């Protein structure tokens, strides 16, 4: 079949030669990661009431993201050593094992271990799914497969709060993890049954252990700051964590196998401005995912299900806004990068005002504005970064976009945990503590997203590559 005929045949080609089964399998793999975050945000208040751990809200997200970062950085090497088929099966079983640990956890420490394992497994699964797209589908189908997988995130936005809310309201939050453990095990079995054997390779590619160690230490230092009762020591440890993150960027730029493009540390370049934008905006908005559900349940009497869908409004707005502007010509890209960053700043500021005072409609509106901001800017920001780097760094630059988002989210969730615990959330989140602390929990991140806005303004003003 000619390439022109293949393009005309379009979506029907996914049904041929066993491709649809593999396509559905990859969608399930992305679903495991996409649904986890909103489901966990919905049930975390129930988890804390049952096994304790109000002081560790941020750690539940930061640990998952840390696992995903490390796993995502090693997914390529993992596939080369074991082949995509066996690597996907092993990754899914690691994820399922993490779900089991979280499901049976008698206290918060073992629950966090389970979250870390879930992050590692999910990070591998998603990374390997993207490897599988390039190796198991013809090139003319890549765009359609990638577009469909992006739609999985929208489906997860609708369904995962429902799943978490049903189990939380029934008082059986542990069963949500059993459900995802079963999906992980089913995914592993399906991968072994549906995918080809593949061809493992024994290359010289090594996992950048030192960079990942510095990165992990920085995020853990910020997270640990939230456990210190003394504000001065907590501030010092948090500052040390930020210093380690800056060292990671500088050290990575000099390494033989960098995780980021070498221009990342230079804000005068598109890569430097773009990755700064990603990190700062991800870090400055993650507190809504971590604490939004708990605050709304405590302060406004929202059910876990309703609170989960309010959190999900941000992700749904992101998806719809991205689809709306995706086909705009190049001349509009800089404008929407700046407009998107402006919406994100407005959304975080709106949450700082609306969270302690209400009404709930204002909280929803702020979440939608924030999500629209990401949707308006994200694709154009990524494209401008990729067009600015040399072809040799294009693969690294591509993988660094989600990596930097994860790093920002992990650092932000750890920082949010530190701030929340200093505000008294460590003793529990009731109406009084939620009313007293929710303003500062979001207002403290307005300067962070403000710096992200400056980076976005800089990126939009640079020449296109």
Q: Decide if 90 contacts 71 (C-beta within 8 A).
A: no
Domain of 449, CATH number, reads 1.20.1250.20
Which of 447 and 317 is assigned the larger pLDDT?
A: 447
Torsion of CA 399, 180, 425, 302, to 10 degrees: 110
**Residue 366 and residue 294 share a domain:** yes
Assessment of whether the complete model's pTM goes beyond 0.85? no
Residue 81 counted as domain residue: yes
pLDDT at residue 144, rounded to an integer: 63
Residue with tokens 């696992």: 67
**Residue 186 and residue 283 share a domain:** no
Would you mind telling me the total number of residues written for the chain in this entry?
465
Residue 233 counted as domain residue: no
Which of 206 and 401 is assigned the larger pLDDT?
A: 401
Q: Is a pLDDT exceeding 50 seen at residue 205?
A: yes
Residues 6+ apart with CB under 8 A from 312: 38, 157, 158, 160, 161
Closest CA to 308 of 124, 79, 45: 45
**Residue 436 and residue 342 share a domain:** yes
**Residue 276 and residue 189 share a domain:** no
Q: What is the mean pLDDT of the chain?
A: 80
Q: Is a pLDDT exceeding 80 seen at residue 92?
A: yes
Structure tokens belonging to residue 357: 């005072």
Residue 413 counted as domain residue: yes
**Residue 411 and residue 279 share a domain:** yes
Q: How far apart are CA 43 and CA 334, in angstroms?
A: 39
**Residue 418 and residue 347 share a domain:** yes
Residues 6+ apart with CB under 8 A from 236: none
Interval 246-285: pLDDT, tens? 898 888 888 777 777 777 778 888 888 999 999 999 999 9
Q: How far apart are CA 14 and CA 34, in angstroms?
A: 23
Q: How far apart are CA 164 and CA 175, in angstroms?
A: 9
Boundary of a domain, candidates 153, 178, 202: 202
Number of domains in the chain: 2
- Sorting pLDDT into bands at 50, 70 and 90, what band is 58? low
pLDDT at residue 45, rounded to an integer: 80
Residue 427 belongs to what domain range? 263-465
Residue 1 counted as domain residue: no
Interval 30-48: pLDDT, tens? 888 878 877 887 788 888 8
**Residue 104 and residue 195 share a domain:** yes
> For 390-416, what is the mean pLDDT?
74
Residue 227 counted as domain residue: no
Number of Cβ within 10 Å of residue 151's Cβ equals: 14
Q: How far apart are CA 452 and CA 276, in angstroms?
A: 7
Residue 237 counted as domain residue: no
Boundary of a domain, candidates 202, 231, 251: 202
Number of Cβ within 10 Å of residue 19's Cβ equals: 16
Interval 116-172: pLDDT, tens? 999 999 888 887 877 777 667 666 665 566 656 666 766 776 777 778 888 888 888
How is residue 463 annotated by DSSP? Answer: P
138: three-class secondary structure by DSSP: coil
**Residue 398 and residue 295 share a domain:** yes
Boundary of a domain, candidates 165, 182, 202: 202
Residue 6 counted as domain residue: no
Closest CA to 286 of 347, 231, 336, 241: 347
Residue 245 counted as domain residue: no
**Residue 283 and residue 179 share a domain:** no
Task: Write out the E strands in 55-193.
Answer: none
Q: Decide if 218 contacts 156 (C-beta within 8 A).
A: no
**Exposed (0-12), middle (13-18) or buried (19+): which is 267, by Cβ within 10 Å?**
middle
**Residue 147 and residue 281 share a domain:** no
**Residue 280 and residue 175 share a domain:** no
Q: Decide if 85 contacts 198 (C-beta within 8 A).
A: yes
**Residue 272 and residue 179 share a domain:** no
């Amino acid at each position: 079949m000619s390439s022109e005929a293949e393009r005309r045949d379009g979506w029907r080609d996914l049904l041929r030669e066993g491709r649809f089964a593999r396509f559905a399998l990859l969608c399930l793999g992305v679903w495991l990661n996409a649904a986890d975050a909103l489901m966990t945000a919905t049930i975390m208040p129930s988890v804390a009431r049952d096994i304790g751990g109000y002081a560790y809200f941020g750690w539940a997200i930061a640990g998952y993201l840390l696992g995903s970062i490390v796993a995502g950085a090693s997914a390529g090497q993992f596939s080369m050593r074991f082949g995509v088929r066996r690597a996907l099966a092993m990754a899914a079983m690691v994820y399922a094992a993490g779900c089991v640990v979280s499901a049976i956890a008698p206290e918060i420490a073992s629950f966090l271990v389970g979250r870390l394992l879930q992050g590692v497994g999910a990070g591998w699964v998603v990374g390997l799914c993207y490897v599988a797209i390039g190796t198991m589908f013809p090139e003319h189908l890549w765009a359609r497969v990638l577009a469909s997988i992006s739609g999985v995130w929208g489906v997860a936005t609708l369904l995962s709060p429902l799943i978490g809310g049903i189990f939380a309201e029934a008082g059986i939050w542990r069963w949500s993890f059993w459900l995802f453990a079963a999906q992980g095990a089913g995914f592993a079995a399906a991968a072994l049954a549906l995918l080809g054997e593949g061809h493992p390779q024994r290359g010289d590619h090594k996992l950048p252990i030192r960079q990942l160690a510095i990165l992990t230490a920085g995020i853990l230092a910020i997270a640990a700051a939230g456990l210190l009762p003394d504000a001065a020591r907590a501030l010092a440890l948090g500052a040390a964590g930020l210093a380690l993150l800056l060292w990671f960027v500088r050290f990575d730029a000099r390494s033989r196998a960098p995780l980021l493009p070498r221009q990342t540390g230079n804000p005068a370049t598109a890569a430097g401005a773009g990755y700064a934008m990603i990190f700062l905006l991800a870090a400055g908005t993650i507190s809504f995912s971590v604490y939004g559900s708990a605050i709304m349940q405590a302060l406004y009497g929202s059910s876990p299900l309703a609170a989960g869908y309010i959190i999900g409004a941000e992700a749904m707005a992101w998806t719809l806004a991205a689809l709306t502007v995706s086909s705009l010509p190049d001349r509009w890209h800089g404008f929407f990068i700046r407009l998107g960053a402006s919406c994100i700043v407005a959304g975080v500021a709106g949450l700082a005002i609306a969270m302690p005072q209400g009404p709930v409609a204002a909280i929803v509106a702020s979440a939608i504005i924030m999500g629209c901001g990401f949707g308006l800017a994200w694709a154009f920001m990524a494209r401008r970064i990729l067009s600015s780097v040399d072809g040799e760094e294009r693969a690294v630059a591509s993988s660094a976009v989600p990596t930097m988002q994860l790093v920002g989210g992990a650092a932000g969730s750890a920082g949010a945990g530190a701030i929340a615990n200093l505000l008294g959330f460590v003793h529990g989140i009731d109406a009084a503590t939620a009313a007293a602390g929710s303003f500062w929990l979001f207002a403290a991140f307005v300067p962070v997203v403000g710096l992200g806005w400056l980076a976005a303004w800089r990126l939009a003003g640079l020449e296109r590559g």
